[in-house]
Structure 1
Amino acid sequence: MMCYSDFPMPEEFPVYLHHSKILEYLHMYAEHFDLMKCIQFQTQVCSVRQSDDFASSGQWNVEIETHDKENANRKVLTFHAVMVCNGHYNEPYMPLNCFPGIEYFKGCYIHSRFYKTSENYHGKTVLVVGTGNSAGDISVELSHTAKQVFLSTRHGSWVVSRISRGGFPIDMTMSRRCTMWVKNLLPNILAAKISEKLMSGWFDHSNLGLEPKDRLKHPVVNDYLPSQILQGSIKVKPGITSFSETSVTFEDGTMAEVDEVIFATGYTSKYPFLDVDLIRLNDNDVSLYKYVFPIHLEKQTIAFLGLVQPLGPIMPTVELQARWGVRVFKGVVHLPPAREMENYVSKWKDKKNKWFGKGRTQVLQIHYIDYINAISKEIGVHPNMLYLFLTDPKLAWQVFFGPCTPYQMRLTGPGKWPGARNAILTQWDGTFQPTRTRIVKKQPQSWPKFKRMVMICAVVTVV
């Protein structure tokens, strides 16, 4: 699901990748497309400013600092276009002013960004603040070495397993066009209720103190958190009211002695190398057209990539943003007038707030398929389902009812990839290739044939 659209993961790679495998894949991609020659390492971008003739040329002056073993050198280069690809995980967000008494706490406290290993926490009582993916992963890892782990959450979170029914990867069963089509047909309230029911299908979140206040806060993907809570090695607590020298008091009035605190409280998007007026950040919220383009520029020659948090894979999402950006830079695709883009941003925010809520952790959330549909239509690579069903029913079935893999964005239009069809039709085999290390011969089942017979009889009866 997370591969680039014209470069499938190697079949020997596991379904869920260790970060070292992701790095290996990126190196393979860069080497395959001969991209290493385009990358300048050991270089810091100090500033990105509009050129003096920006209104006519759309060019940017970029000041960079290159580093070698002995010294650093600065110079200014001019570019016709710029893509800002920092994403939104660049500045740790640790709101200490929200935790009275933290200045008196004698233990050590850090942001989750600086957590590396559980070895330093052996035999200690540790408080983890937050319930995102980082908080869940750190809490579980600490639960095997620490004396006790407390997990503090103000809003709660849905927790889902990586494995869905039948042993299939959860993202490949949830990210389907047919599912999103049904969701968009239903009223928001009903669709949200159904989604909540599916999210809570693994276990009763209220029993473990995890049920979220917001409808569809971005779920935590963690197979071990519920079991560690049941074992008592992790205790879920509400928000924090205050710290003392050695303890913490929670909103329910309970108190706990703690040795260390890890704030898994997210990140703040910052771009110190840009003019402050170019992109205005309001508690992580940005007013960009489809999360990519500033609205009020004379020339659309700068794009922001990765300022989204999709309910799905991030890499193919950002790849589509990049493909769109290039088309706009080349003048092949044109953006609508500023007023029209403003109206779109306003309507999109209203729709998003009704679905996800207005918290700072939800401002960048998007429905994966809805978003890639919008971007793929801008590029001209959106698959035409009616045409596919008429000309290639086998492929159409997989595109609509199967997982929405990135290869779908290479079936047609600019950048069409000849291998896209085969990649889609063989995607399940490729997914489970690395797990079939012991070949099991499946017994023939009569039940599917029986179901088909019943369906045929039902159709004949209706006719």
Structure 2
Amino acid sequence: MNTLTLLYVYTTMKVAIVGAGLAGLVSIKSCKEEGLEATCFELTPYIGGLWAARRGDAGVSAVYDHLITNFNKEMMSFSDYPMPAHYPTYLPKKMFHDYVMSYCERFDLEKDIKLQHKVTNIQQSEDYSESGCWDVTVTRLFPVGGETVEETMRFDAVMICVGAYAYPHMPEIPGLQKFKGRVLHSQDYTNSSEFDARERVLVVGNSHSGCDIATDLCHRLSKREKVMDQVSNHMIAQISDSLTEEERTAAHFIAHSTKQVLGVEKPPVYMSSRSGVDILKRNYGKPVGLSVSFATDDLRLCFPSLFQRLLRWQVGSGFDFKKYGLNSPITKPGRSPFAINDDFYDYLTKGMVKAVPEVLEVSDNSVTLSGGEELEVDGLIMATGYDIHLPMVCPEVINVDSLKLYKHIWPVNSQRGTLAVIGLFKVAGSSPMILELQARCAVQVFKGGFKLPSCDVMESTTKAYRPNAGDHVKVQFISYVRDLAKCVGCLPTFGAYWTQPLKWFRVYFGSAFPYIFRLVGPGSCEESWDRLVTARSRIHASPEEIRIAEARRKKRNDNIFVGLILTATAALYITLWGFSLYFTWKSLKFGWSCIRSLFDSLKTLYASFSK
């Protein structure tokens, strides 16, 4: 018994995971799936990363209240845990966090997470060249007034899952320190209630967060309107039980109309942009993400010009950017930066949002734009992205000033491949899908299922990035996903479906939902095909519609099966009947020939007797 126990302890790899956001959770799941022992250390007292973080937490980023996912719920799902049917097509912040927590509960991940544990140092063990092990120093944080405890533990492998959204990047604009108004980063923005309706606000940056914050600020209220809003809501709540639905609706309408009459005229929200941007809506005829497939990726690689034209034709807005002061995209169509926002065009054309050129200088209460115009503002919001810092790892292992990660996961000087970085990228696509495949790929390397090339090969084939100098680590979504899936061994190929061409047609030409990467290889499951087939119907449909559709599909499959049996039976019957007719005809011909022979014999005999 003792021998078996010692053997188990010796052969089970211990993996340290830094961070319990999306990257950390899928890393724990991937380790458990392959039989590895995972221990996750999370700095904050909660699980979920930036989806759960609260404003003011040091070293972590929190998303603003009104954030909505840019991609539909099926593209944002984990490959082995689809979102509930009653979820909307695009999820608000709280609903997506609830889904993440249900994923954590479904696979029992919480027991492997140590909250309020800060990883302060990760260094190679003394016998690293032989074992590939790491010494991880962890500081256990206690509530205010308690003492901290530091501990160093040895692990066979380490997965760093802190992400790329922890340290806000503040641009170096001359005179910014002299500005007397409010200056905050998009990381610190919660909602429009932080600003008064009379305040003139300038948003610097035209990315996803810049457009979202600019449109949200259009709903800011004055102090008088906030008081009116609180009083009216309180009064209606007090008498709501005695009101009918029509009376309650009328009361809200009267309160809203009164608030508009007593409100103040709002100045526009200014948005400064340095480069061009394409702004897309979430539904341009169909939900964002449904056009992403293996076929479109091959089209992009083989015929890039044709692909760009088709992309522009499909998602192009036909919007005149220059007419409203927003720089038109400076790169080729489809290759320019883009943001997804449903309301931006409307607010821009109504004058509620005004685009202005790049900010060159800041003074006490105004900014100077690149065209020489001076604009008076009361607040600045910097939607200027994030810097990348990995303070727990020494620069000799990972140098963030010249970042070189093989396949955006492994440091190129990693001799043993036992240190993996998950989530250090930016992509115009589904982040959960990439995070999950990165984690599965790293675990395959830990186990020996996928072997890394030599350090020299990794060094020569990997591009160096300077993320803190504006050189972002961007990946081409579907190409990168296919590359990772090939390393994991879960990429469906034509060879696996050559006997089922219709299935391969759906895999290759259909939308690249995450369930595709559970059809074959490690971690495959039988339910994946049904999830892939019904994914499109679940995007807009209600639970009852999904139930009816699945019942119809099952009935249709049953009918097809019965039809095939009847067709085969009929074919067999017709074949047998044909053979029987053939032999019957042969028998009739033989019988008729016999009768004719007998008749001829009798005729001959009769003639001989007549003579």
TM-score normalised to the size of structure 1?
0.86
Give the Cα separation in 2 of the matches to 1:177 and 1:62.
40
Alignment of 1:158-237 (within 5 A): 158-165=278-285, 168-173=286-291, 175-186=292-303, 188=304, 191-192=307-308, 194-196=310-312, 198-208=314-324, 209-215=326-332, 216-237=335-356
How many percent of aligned residue pairs carry the same amino acid? 30
Shift of 1:387: 3.8
Q: Could you tell me which residue of structure 1 aligns to residue 206 of structure 2?
A: 131
Q: Could you tell me which residue of structure 2 aligns to residue 375 of structure 1?
A: 484
Give the Cα separation in 1 of the matches to 2:187 and 2:329.
24
Q: In structure 1, the residue corresponding to 2:201 is in which secondary structure?
A: strand
Q: Which amino acid aligns with 1:232?
A: G
Verify: 1:147 aligned to 2:267, yes or no.
yes
Q: Could you tell me which residue of structure 1 aligns to residue 533 of structure 2?
A: 425
Q: In structure 2, the residue corresponding to 1:172 is in which secondary structure?
A: coil
Verify: 1:345 aligned to 2:462, yes or no.
yes
Shift of 1:28: 1.1
Q: In structure 1, the residue corresponding to 2:505 is in which secondary structure?
A: helix
- 8 Å CA contact 2:85, 2:543 repeated in 1: no
Q: In structure 2, the residue corresponding to 1:26 is in which secondary structure?
A: helix
Q: Which amino acid aligns with 1:75?
A: E
- 8 Å CA contact 1:395, 1:421 repeated in 2: no
Shift of 1:276: 1.2
Q: Could you tell me which residue of structure 1 aligns to residue 518 of structure 2?
A: 410
Q: Indicate the structure with greater helix content.
A: 2
Verify: 1:281 aligned to 2:410, yes or no.
no
- 8 Å CA contact 1:158, 1:210 repeated in 2: no
Q: In structure 2, the residue corresponding to 1:86 is in which secondary structure?
A: coil
Shift of 1:214: 3.4
Q: Could you tell me which residue of structure 2 aligns to residue 397 of structure 1?
A: 505
Q: Could you tell me which residue of structure 2 aligns to residue 454 of structure 1?
A: none
Shift of 1:6: 0.8
1:232-264: CA deviation from partner (whole Å, max 9, x where unpaired):
011101111111111111101222110000011
Q: In structure 2, the residue corresponding to 1:22 is in which secondary structure?
A: helix
Shift of 1:381: 0.8
1:378-407: CA deviation from partner (whole Å, max 9, x where unpaired):
11111113543x333343232222210011
Q: Could you tell me which residue of structure 1 aligns to residue 451 of structure 2?
A: 334
Q: Which amino acid aligns with 2:386?
A: Y
Q: In structure 1, the residue corresponding to 2:121 is in which secondary structure?
A: strand
- 8 Å CA contact 2:203, 2:270 repeated in 1: yes
Verify: 1:312 aligned to 2:405, yes or no.
no
Give the Cα separation in 2 of the matches to 1:34 and 1:319.
17
- 8 Å CA contact 2:415, 2:455 repeated in 1: no
Q: Provide closer, same or farther for how the CA distance between residues 217 and 196 of structure 1 changes in structure 2, counting only shifts above 3 A.
A: same
Q: Which amino acid aligns with 1:365?
A: K
1:140-183: CA deviation from partner (whole Å, max 9, x where unpaired):
00022253211000012111110021xx211123x122211211
Alignment of 1:443-462 (within 5 A): none
Q: In structure 1, the residue corresponding to 2:410 is in which secondary structure?
A: coil
Give the Cα separation in 2 of the matches to 1:436 and 1:107.
53
The 10-residue stretch of structure 1 (207-216 or 136-145) with the greater mean CA deviation from structure 2:
207-216
Give the Cα separation in 2 of the matches to 1:421 and 1:341.
36
Give the Cα separation in 2 of the matches to 1:136 and 1:227.
12
- 8 Å CA contact 1:159, 1:199 repeated in 2: no
Match of 1:102 among 172, 176, 179: 176
Shift of 1:103: 2.1
Q: Provide closer, same or farther for how the CA distance between residues 367 and 277 of structure 1 changes in structure 2, counting only shifts above 3 A.
A: same
Q: Could you tell me which residue of structure 2 aligns to residue 60 of structure 1?
A: 134
Q: Which amino acid aligns with 1:130?
A: G
Q: Which has the higher contact order (CA 8 A, sep 6+)?
A: 1
Q: In structure 1, the residue corresponding to 2:411 is in which secondary structure?
A: coil
Shift of 1:423: 0.5
Q: In structure 1, the residue corresponding to 2:277 is in which secondary structure?
A: coil
Shift of 1:361: 5.2
Give the Cα separation in 1 of the matches to 2:83 and 2:448.
32
Q: Could you tell me which residue of structure 2 aligns to residue 459 of structure 1?
A: none
- 8 Å CA contact 1:218, 1:362 repeated in 2: no
Q: Provide closer, same or farther for how the CA distance between residues 394 and 204 of structure 1 changes in structure 2, counting only shifts above 3 A.
A: farther
Q: Could you tell me which residue of structure 2 aligns to residue 93 of structure 1?
A: 169
Match of 1:290 among 402, 407, 412: 407
Verify: 1:118 aligned to 2:238, yes or no.
no
Give the Cα separation in 1 of the matches to 2:443 and 2:451.
11
Q: Could you tell me which residue of structure 1 aligns to residue 101 of structure 2?
A: 27
Runs of at least 5 residues in structure 2 that lack an aligned partner in the other structure = 1-74, 221-265, 550-611
Q: Output the aligned Cα RMSD.
A: 2.4
Greater radius of gyration (CA):
2
Give the Cα separation in 1 of the matches to 2:313 and 2:375.
33
Shift of 1:341: 1.8
- 8 Å CA contact 1:395, 1:424 repeated in 2: no
1:62-113: CA deviation from partner (whole Å, max 9, x where unpaired):
1111123333211111111000111111110002x3x112222111111110
Q: Provide closer, same or farther for how the CA distance between residues 409 and 275 of structure 1 changes in structure 2, counting only shifts above 3 A.
A: same
May I ask how many residue pairs the two structures share in their alignment? 423
Give the Cα separation in 1 of the matches to 2:408 and 2:533.
32
TM-score normalised to the size of structure 2?
0.66
Shift of 1:300: 1.0
Give the Cα separation in 1 of the matches to 2:318 and 2:283.
10
Match of 2:87 among 5, 10, 13: 13
